[in-house]
Every structure is written in C-alpha cells, then in structure tokens.
C-alpha cells in the first residue's frame, strides 16, 4: 500500500499529501452521536482549540487538510496559518446542513457551491471536492457544471460519496466519468456508514473491483468508523486496502493527534 506519512502523491502537475487532517470533529458533525455535543462545546465554540489541533498535526508531519467553508473552521485555519502552518488544502464545496442520516438531496443541490468555490480559492487548494449530498443526488447536469468550474480554476476536481457501492456503479456509466480525478468514499472494517448490510470478504472484494474499474485516485474517509473503532484495528484494516491512495482522518484533540499520527508512522 502506498501510504507513507512523509510522502506525497503526484496527480497531474501537483504533489499532494497522502494523509489529510479531517475536520468533521471540528464542525461537530451529527453522525458522532453524543460526542457531537462535546465537540460543539470543546471545538466549534472555541476555534482557538481547533487551531491548536491543526498546529499540533502540522508539527507531527501532517501536510494536508480537508477543508470546507464553514466560517468557524476557516477562522481556526487562519489562526493556524498565522502560526506557521502551511498545508495542502483539499477543499469541499456545496456542503449544507442536510441531515446526514436522512438526507434531503433536493435541498442539498441548492447549496451555494459557487460562493464556496470563491472562498476556497484564497487558500490555493490543490483539490476541490463536491459534497456527497450533491454527488449522491445523481444530477449529472449539475455535477457537470460544478466540475467544469473547478477545472476552470486549475484545481483537481473530485467527488465525495456516502454510498460507495451504489454511487460507484452509477458513476461507471455516467456522463461525468472523465470530468473528475479524485473520489472520496467511506471504508472501514465494520462497514459502518457504508451502503451495505454486511461488509465481509465478498462485499470487500466487490467494492475493490468497483473502485478499480473507476480508475480514479481514491481517498478513504471514516476508516475509524466515526470513532467506533480503535485506531489500531482501523489502521491495520487500512493496510489491506490496496486501492487506497490517500487517507483522511478526523482528530478531536492534540493528544489524539499525537497518538493516531504516530501510530500511522509505524504502519
């Protein structure tokens, strides 16, 4: 597997960090359950605490961050920049307040992705991804328009999906297949938050075959099943994913950053 902490991945004319600092805990995403409230109090309500985690991650050798345009998150990242942090930005546009467990795809499609795009450009993003709830609406015309705008701005365009089985199958026969290079999907040993009832050998092989056919650069997220799984078990499973090109890992404290990223160094 080609996941080395200090390494970078060359995509087109850019070299991008293979390991990204995820930011879902920073914005207290609802799928963390009761921990979302704790993240709200500890992190989202205190952007200085978010900045400390970003800075610590940078000190540990992390050189990439998955950044959306939430104003609190951007404020925290600006604080980190003022303290010497310089990361490859993998941006997300079109993020909305759609309920993760019961998504309203029509509402998601109304997100102001063009405004997000302009906000992200000041951070010179290497990659810009379209939020999963726009992607999983399968509105090919809208997705084609957004991907076109991303490509116009000189960033590498990509998609996020919450449904790695269903969406990958649809993408293989879609009119946008040649318009994007990056594909971010959730994968973990438990099959948690994947669109499958079980995730054993058969399903794992099916997913591998699907993404291999897609022939894109794959970013894995939710490898720790939103905190349900231990880092040791999650990272050991990551080693079996030979189709993983990059990994995005959410961190909720400086202590967690030290533990998880040092663990990754020894994979």
- The alpha helices in 62-184, defined as continuous H runs, are 71-82, 105-108, 113-121, 132-135, 140-152, 164-172
The whole-number pLDDT of residue 29 equals: 86
Domain assignments of the chain as residue spans, ordered by start: 15-265
Domain 15-265 CATH assignment equals 3.20.20.100: yes
The whole-number pLDDT of residue 82 equals: 98
Name the one residue in this structure whose structure tokens are 């900045």.
51
Indicate the average pLDDT of the chain: 93
CA angle 38, 91, 101 (to 5 degrees): 50
- Reported as a pLDDT band with limits 50, 70 and 90, residue 5 is very low
């Amino acid at each position: 597997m080609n996941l080395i902490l200090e390494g970078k991945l060359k995509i087109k004319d850019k070299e991008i960090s293979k390991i990204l600092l995820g930011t879902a805990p920073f914005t207290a995403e609802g799928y963390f359950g009761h921990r979302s409230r704790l993240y709200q109090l500890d992190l989202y309500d205190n952007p200085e605490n978010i900045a400390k985690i970003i800075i610590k991650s940078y000190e540990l050798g992390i050189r990439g961050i998955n950044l959306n345009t939430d104003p609190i998150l951007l404020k925290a990242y600006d604080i980190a920049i003022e303290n010497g942090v310089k990361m490859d930005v993998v941006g997300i546009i079109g993020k909305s307040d759609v309920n993760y467990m019961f998504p309203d795809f029509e509402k998601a499609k109304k997100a102001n992705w063009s405004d997000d795009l302009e906000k992200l450009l000041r951070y010179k993003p290497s990659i810009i991804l379209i939020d999963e709830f726009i992607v999983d609406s399968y509105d090919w015309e809208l997705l084609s328009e957004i991907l076109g705008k991303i490509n116009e701005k000189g960033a590498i365009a990509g998609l996020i999906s919450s449904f790695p089985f269903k969406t990958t199958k649809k993408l293989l026969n879609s009119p946008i297949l040649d318009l994007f290079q990056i594909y971010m999907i959730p994968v973990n040993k438990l099959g948690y938050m994947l669109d499958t009832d079980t995730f054993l050998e058969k399903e794992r092989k099916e997913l591998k075959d699907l993404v291999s056919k897609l022939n894109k650069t794959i970013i894995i997220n939710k490898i720790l099943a939103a905190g349900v799984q231990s880092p040791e078990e999650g990272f050991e499973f990551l080693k079996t994913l030979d189709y993983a090109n990059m990994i995005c890992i959410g961190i909720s404290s400086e202590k967690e950053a030290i533990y998880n990223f040092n663990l990754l160094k020894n994979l």
